[in-house]
Amino acid sequence: MTLLTASSSYFYSMGPEFLLIIAIGIVGFIVQSRLQSVFNKYSKVPFAGGLTGREVAEKMLRDNGITDVRVTHVSGELTDHFNPANKTVNLSDSVYESNSVAAAAVAAHECGHAVQHAVGYAPLKWRSALVPVTSFSSKFAILFIIGGIVLAGVTNNLVLFWIGIGMIAMSALFSIVTLPVEYNASHRALAWLENEQILNSQQQAQAKEALTWAARTYLVAALSAIATLIYYIGFARRD
């Protein structure tokens, strides 16, 4: 049976790999919704220190001896990120000028990445090295998969399809490497917030909850990437 012929029966059979992807997708939707709910809730909770997200970020950078990273403003919501290329901590509309618990948590988390970069945290280096390859793979993997199905239907040759699978594997690897980077940044953020007594005990717990749900979105993304990889491998091996 050719891959092209097998494709229709595989989709109709709804194998366990495909059902796993659906299940993870549902979990991902729930986690993302919960993150949004938690963020919105704690965005309305001010903390006694009164520092804005920008001020929290600047203080954390100073406290860690980092003087070559700028704190900038970017549009959107939950678009906060650290850019190691130009050494900027970029804070979103709901974080930059907000003095909420959520803003403090997010700003400190992004500075956690800046600290990782400053100390040469290995997983961050690995993730940065994977960015160019992953960017290419995420754009063109599906084209190789589709081309591989067509080629297999004509020549029964799976080489192109397996190249596509390899590209999907690179995206999965990127998602896996991202996990320690994100969890470690949250750990650094929470430790600093506690040590500097930026938040009281109740607010510290709220910040931890917000960052925990944020980290879970990366966990779901990694599981989804792995499930997708397993799905296409099973798809290729069916005969």
Q: Is 110 a catalytic residue?
A: yes
Cβ contacts of 239 within 8 Å, gap of 6 or more: 1, 6
Cβ contacts of 47 within 8 Å, gap of 6 or more: 99, 100, 101, 104, 198, 199, 200, 203
Neighbours of 168 (CB within 10 A): 22
**From the candidates 58, 110, 182, 209, which is the catalytic residue?**
110
Tokens 């599906």 found at: 142
Helix, strand, coil shares of the chain as percentages rounded to 5?
75, 5, 20
Nearest Cα to Cα of residue 189 among 206, 205, 211: 211
Catalytic residue positions? 110
